[in-house]
Amino acid sequence: MNTKIKIASVFMVLCLIVGYSIESKACTRVVYKGPNNTILTGRNMDFGIEIPANQWIFPRGVKRNGEVGKNSIEWVSKYGSLGVSTWDLAIADGMNEKGLVANMLWLDETKYPTFNKEGNTKGMSISLWVQYVLDNFATVAEAVDELRKESFAIVSNYVPGTDRFVTVHLSISDATGDNAILEYIEGKLVIYHDPSYIVMTNDPTYEKQLAITKYWEDVPGNIFLPGSVSASDHFVRASFFINSIPQTDDTRVAVAGIFSVIRNVSVPYGFGIKGSPNLSTTRWRCVADQKELVYYFETTLTPNIFWVDLKKIDFSEKAGVRKLDLSDYKICAGEVSAEFKKSKPLQFLGL
């Protein structure tokens, strides 16, 4: 079979298997692995409506509960962290002082376990899923070992002011290059844990994303790559490019490289197709350097990348919660750890 026929055949099979849809929400997350323990995780946030993002510094020693009533789980944060909020009601992305990174991405096929506020099972609001991981674990292995016990139920809710019920899956990466993806399918927790799981997108389920990888293994990316804004196409392009850019321990080059990959799989701002009201546009991007503990960030409506050096942050309990308010398209540049201001704790959305 010649290359052109083979490519066409693979593309047709993929369309049938994963349900090709131009309306797919298409956040993408990639992990860069360079020499000398150079590990970086990058992602873009794609969403169909404006999704205000602020940055928060959370110290060690914060007492939290799952925000679902009397059956909420409770814990005290073991590690300090930097988190990016959505509407100041949830944390969608972040890195803790040990270099553990957690990212929430949409997944339409998600179905959480049933939760009864008056029952015996403990629960935690979806708004706290990322923060729970950042508060409690230093490595992916630690997080997976605990979360697989399913000692509490994840409880979801609607996006504020909309009829969209929040259905997300979670990726975790650490400073050693280990990776895990957690999904709730038909009410059951499914965990994919392997250092090789360096690329993920919103849809489809990660099992099907792994199938996409197999279908494209024999198709030369330097000859053909799918170019639509669908999540499946983003997965293919991100997989090819993250393994094609220079592998280096030069931080400047590594950060530039992973930013270039997630920009390649971003959706142009304001892009739309008639009849596709749920099509998402890229709102912001971030790169977490898990070796140097630096968190880089940019939004599509401001001109600069800025970053936070976690090594400059006091994460002790006495330092308190601090916030970098990015509302009204605030322009930041360079290292901004000193620009965080003391703040009331973020009130996570619950029941």
Residue positions annotated with a catalytic role: 27
Residue 346 CA to residue 351 CA, distance in Å, equals 16
Residue 169 CA to residue 303 CA, distance in Å, equals 30
Residue 173: phi and psi, rounded to 5, are -140, 155
The gap between the terminal CA atoms of the chain, to the nearest Å, is: 57
Rg for the chain (alpha carbons), in Å?
20
Residue 40 CA to residue 30 CA, distance in Å, equals 8
32, 128, 236 from 240: Cα distances, Å: 12, 33, 6
Residue 196 CA to residue 213 CA, distance in Å, equals 12
Q: Is 158 helix (H, G, I), strand (E, B) or coil?
A: strand
Q: What is the DSSP letter of 112?
A: P
Asked whether 71 and 36 are in contact (CB, 8 A), the reply is no
